[in-house]
Amino acid sequence: MRWTIKPRPEQVEIERLANALGVEKIVAHLLLQRDISTFEEAKKFFRPQLEELHNPFLMKDMYLAVARIEMAIAENENILVYGDYDVDGTTAVALVSSYLLSYYPNVATYIPDRYDEGYGVSYKGIDFAEDNGFSLIIALDCGIKAVEKVGYAKDKGIDFIICDHHRPDSVLPAAVAVLDPKREDCNYPYDELCGCGVGFKLVQALGSRRGETIDDLLYYLDLVATAIAADIVPITGENRILAYYGLQVINQSPRAGFRAIIQQLKKSTLTITDVVFIIAPRINAAGRMEHGQHAVNLLTETDISKAMRFASEIEKYNSDRKGLDQEITQEALLQIQDNKEEDRFTSVVFQEHWHKGVIGIVASRLTETYYRPTLVFTKSGDKLAASARSVKGFDVYNALERCSDCIEQFGGHKYAAGLTLLEEQYQAFKEQFEKVVKETIDPALLTPEILVDCIIELKDITPKLLRIIRQFAPFGPGNMAPVFMAQNLVDTGYARTVGQEDAHLKVSVTQEDSHRIDGIGFNLGNKLGRVTSRNPFDAVFSIDENEWQGNISLQLKIRDIK
């Protein structure tokens, strides 16, 4: 790991803000690093307000989208709410469809089959709309690149409203409205919304026309918070407000589907991290292992007994998914080793029998192991489909763009993308992708980085500091949990390894023979010798609490030791 200490704000600025807020200098330091420099900005950060959400009509085409939906309702048209099969797509479909159904009955949902139709808008979905008398399709978390498909629908007399957040091409689909804050001609003040977030802005706009306020729409924010967490968008600006209030809904009055999942857990209060690692994988498992419609059914169900049944089905899908992704990850690691590709700048692997539903997870696992841009391919119909994952600081979407002559279709983000290509192009693509990454990546990016907010003395780690840091939540990209560094730590003689195969490191350390504090380093068991040598060492960590036999104490959650 390489440790990068963030630039320290000016001392005079730290002291000014600390005095203005009545907080310790270390808190002012952390706030200034997050571009919070005034009392008013700090108030908005610590107490996000729903009134700070932007006017949805600032988004390009929002008036057109609302007018078309209102016309459909006035004309008694059938509306099909269409979305991708991942968490962002299924939560968006659940949100928009359940909102429309609350006052208009002619609404149905459609999630494409991951295996039969693939990602995004499909010809099969449009044919389904035609066969069943739908004249308006609202596409969520997809559609921004569906130029031909939207044209195909138009020829059949079917209109599209697109709500997407992926990067558009130079030519937009000929939809009635294209809502995407990443459009170059869109001046919406915040462009990091997820697909479900764009769907919520549409609902907010529709609601405002019906005399509803944001308080009337709070019920839907649990879905938005889940999508924000799962899609790993920045938890800044508008996303921070939506996630903050969405988490309150999840913890205080969750919908039946979430309640059914949460009842199986032992946690009373869920954080954004719990949403990422507990709720999101279960929602995703439906689309990965069976069909995304199962997730929509769970998220829109109001009867708790039915929701419990849906949740137990999804629990099984998630269990199956775990087994498969472990199995395929092992096969992929062996493929890299057998082909002696450990020293490449990229990992590109392919096996035609690999389950398409888990190749994204496998790509993430390989990235964790080799820490380089990664693609995992499998057979999908008569083509190959892949999931791409990147390392921090490297734009895999741009790299794929430079390989576009080998690719049939691709889309996604800076750090995660998907693509299809012809099997005969696989080898050429693999070499071209390696060449592009080798020529463009900063070699330093191939070593995992820990960003350190500031250096701290052990004596400054107090319950009060932890209480304030917890108010920085919800954490995520753009507002990660603070990471500290402490220097010249010494083992007090209690260091040992714990866990299966002694994987984890348990320590008790002091600094200058005072202020002893315990720490746990997950998967750092191999560093025991460095700690017990009695030589001073440095550590990077976040601050946490340890609960043992009813006693709660502060502890360091150690990330690395040098």
How far out from the chain centre does Cα 76 lie?
37
User: Residues near 195 by Cβ (< 8 Å), separated by ≥ 6?
Assistant: 83, 84, 88, 89, 92, 140, 141, 142, 163, 164, 165, 227, 231
- 429 and 517 fall within a common domain: no
- 442 and 454 fall within a common domain: no
- Say if pTM beats, i.e. exceeds, 0.85: yes
User: Residues near 148 by Cβ (< 8 Å), separated by ≥ 6?
Assistant: none
Determine, yes or no, domain membership for 475: yes
Q: Give the total number of structural domains in the chain.
A: 4
Q: How many other CB atoms are found less than 10 A from the CB of residue 49? A: 12
- 200 and 90 fall within a common domain: yes
Crossing angle of helices 221-230 and 195-209, rounded to 10°: 160
First to last CA, the chain: 10
Q: Of the candidates 305, 260, 300, which has an alpha carbon nearest to the alpha carbon of residue 278? A: 260
- 304 and 187 fall within a common domain: yes
Q: CA–CA separation, 386 vs 429, rounded Å?
A: 12
Determine, yes or no, domain membership for 334: no
Q: Is 46 helix (H, G, I), strand (E, B) or coil?
A: helix
- 299 and 347 fall within a common domain: no
Q: Is 107 helix (H, G, I), strand (E, B) or coil?
A: strand
C-alpha gyration radius of the chain:
25
**H-helix or E-strand spanning residue 378:** strand 374-380
- 411 and 489 fall within a common domain: no
Determine, yes or no, domain membership for 332: no
426-433's contacts with Cβ under 8 Å and 24+ in sequence apart are 426/350, 426/377, 426/384, 429/348, 429/403, 430/348, 432/402, 432/403, 432/406, 433/346, 433/348, 433/373, 433/375, 433/399, 433/400, 433/403
Q: CA–CA separation, 420 vs 429, rounded Å?
A: 11
- 224 and 369 fall within a common domain: no
- 116 and 23 fall within a common domain: no
Contact status, residue 423 vs residue 384, Cβ threshold 8 Å: yes
- 101 and 216 fall within a common domain: yes
Q: CA–CA separation, 446 vs 457, rounded Å?
A: 31
Determine, yes or no, domain membership for 212: yes
Determine, yes or no, domain membership for 218: yes
pLDDT of the chain along its 562 residues, tens only?
899 999 999 999 999 999 999 999 999 999 999 999 999 999 999 999 999 999 999 999 999 999 999 999 999 999 999 999 899 999 999 999 999 999 999 999 999 988 788 778 999 999 999 999 999 999 999 999 999 999 999 999 999 999 999 989 899 999 999 999 999 999 999 999 999 999 999 999 999 999 999 999 999 999 999 999 998 899 999 999 999 999 999 999 999 999 999 887 777 789 999 999 889 989 988 877 878 899 999 999 999 999 999 999 998 988 888 899 999 999 999 999 999 988 999 999 999 999 988 999 999 999 999 999 999 999 988 899 999 999 999 999 999 999 999 999 888 788 889 999 999 999 999 999 999 999 999 999 999 999 999 999 999 999 999 999 999 999 988 899 999 999 999 999 899 999 988 999 999 999 987 789 999 999 999 999 999 888 899 999 999 988 877 788 899 999 999 9
- What CATH number does residue 483 fall under? 2.40.50.460
Q: CA–CA separation, 324 vs 361, rounded Å?
A: 10
Which pLDDT does position 411 carry in this prediction? 82
Determine, yes or no, domain membership for 225: yes
Before 474, cis peptide (omega within 30)? yes
Determine, yes or no, domain membership for 50: no
Q: Of the candidates 147, 217, 199, 134, which has an alpha carbon nearest to the alpha carbon of residue 175? A: 147
Which pLDDT does position 514 carry in this prediction? 78
- What CATH number does residue 422 fall under? 3.10.310.30
Q: CA–CA separation, 62 vs 65, rounded Å?
A: 5
- What CATH number does residue 112 fall under? 3.90.1640.30
Determine, yes or no, domain membership for 244: yes
- 197 and 259 fall within a common domain: yes
Q: Which residues pair with 507 in a beta bridge?
A: 519
Q: Is 23 helix (H, G, I), strand (E, B) or coil?
A: coil
- 126 and 227 fall within a common domain: yes
- 164 and 285 fall within a common domain: yes
Contact status, residue 195 vs residue 84, Cβ threshold 8 Å: yes
Which pLDDT does position 114 carry in this prediction? 80
Domain boundary pick from 405, 422, 446: 446
Residue span of the structural domain in which 281 resides: 56-313
